[in-house]
């Protein structure tokens, strides 16, 4: 088991990519703290895992981030891994995008990742074995959805947050990396593909591998970045996009590329 007895915090873990990561960590021997705003779903998910705990959390607020960190320390005594997966999406024409929507997305997707990274890094630095922080970026850090400006900005910011914190924490034995998914087959996307042939065609046309990725494929990258197998990797973003960035072809569509929804995950 690559993560035996490690303690991991995963946000946005009630479903989708976050849940797949939590499951993967648990299968590799980690104790996992699942964080999400969806309390019932999150509690049910944690109940299906070994050595797991759910803490209802909106990561955009520092008091809730501190509570999440404190609950993790109280129950497991350390933090080895942090996965900042929670995120939201707000869609509107650029001329109609509201200040409130922009602030909500940045608060959750970017500020929340900073707050939890900082809080967990403090505990990792106290731990002689250090730790690993994994941020959820997106291909939309590089290419843009025309009607999701705040989402694009937040993911670009995640890349800079990853690089900056990686350099700042390198001498303290804490590695910081990111994963940049392309189109991933979440339940939401699966439902869209079943009812919308145009969405299916768009996804296939912009993805050289000709399919959407599976949540387990993103989880496998997170396991790698959390484990000693990636001990010489920090400040990097691994794009799991089926070749999309290499193709450099974008069709304006409403849906986001990775697992982000209207509420914190």
Task: Concatenate the DSSP letters of all residues of 106-175 into one string.
Answer: HIIIIIHHHHHHHHHHHHHHHSTT-EEEEEE--GGGTS--TT-HHHHHHHHHHHHHHHHHHHHHGGGTEE
Q: Which domains does the chain have, with CATH numbers?
A: 7-247 (3.40.50.720)
Kindly list the strands in the beta sheet with 7-11, ordered across the sheet, starting from the edge strand earlier in the chain. 52-56, 31-36, 7-11, 81-84, 131-136, 174-181, 237-240
| pLDDT in the model for residue 265 | 40
Q: What is the mean pLDDT of each run of 10 residues along the chain (265 residues)?
A: 97 97 98 98 96 97 98 98 96 96 97 98 93 97 92 97 98 98 84 72 85 95 98 98 83 49 42
Contact 56, 42 (CB under 8 A): yes
pLDDT value at residue 249 = 63
pTM for this entry:
0.92
Distances, alpha carbon 94 to alpha carbons 98, 101, 107, 146, 252, in Å:
9, 11, 19, 8, 13
CA angle (154, 159, 165) in 5-degree steps: 115
Catalytic residues: 151
Question: Angle at CA 221, nearest 5°, toward 217 and 226?
Answer: 145
């Amino acid at each position: 088991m690559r993560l035996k007895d490690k303690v991991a915090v995963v946000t946005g873990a009630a479903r989708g990519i976050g849940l797949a990561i939590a499951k993967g960590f648990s299968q590799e021997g980690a104790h996992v703290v699942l964080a999400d705003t969806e309390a019932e779903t999150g509690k049910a998910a944690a109940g299906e895992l070994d050595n797991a705990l759910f803490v209802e959390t909106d990561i955009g607020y520092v008091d809730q981030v501190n509570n999440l960190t404190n609950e993790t320390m109280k129950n497991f005594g350390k933090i080895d891994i942090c996965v900042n997966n929670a995120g939201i999406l707000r869609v509107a024409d650029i001329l109609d995008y509201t200040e409130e929507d922009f602030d909500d997305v940045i608060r959750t997707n970017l500020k929340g990742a900073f707050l939890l990274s900082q809080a967990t890094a403090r505990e990792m630095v106290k731990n002689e074995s250090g730790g690993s922080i994994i941020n959820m970026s997106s291909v939309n850090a590089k290419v843009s959805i025309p009607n999701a400006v705040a989402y694009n900005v937040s993911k670009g910011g995640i890349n800079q947050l990853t690089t900056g914190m990686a350099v700042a924490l390198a001498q303290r034995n804490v590695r910081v990396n990111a994963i940049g998914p392309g189109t991933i087959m979440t339940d939401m996307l699966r439902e869209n593909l079943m009812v919308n042939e145009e969405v299916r065609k768009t996804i296939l046309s912009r993805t050289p591998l000709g399919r959407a990725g599976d949540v387990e494929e993103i989880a496998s990258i997170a396991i790698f970045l959390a484990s000693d197998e990636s001990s010489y990797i920090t400040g990097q973003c691994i794009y799991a996009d089926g070749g999309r960035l290499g193709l450099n072809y974008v069709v304006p569509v409403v849906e986001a590329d990775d697992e982000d929804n209207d509420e914190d995950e």
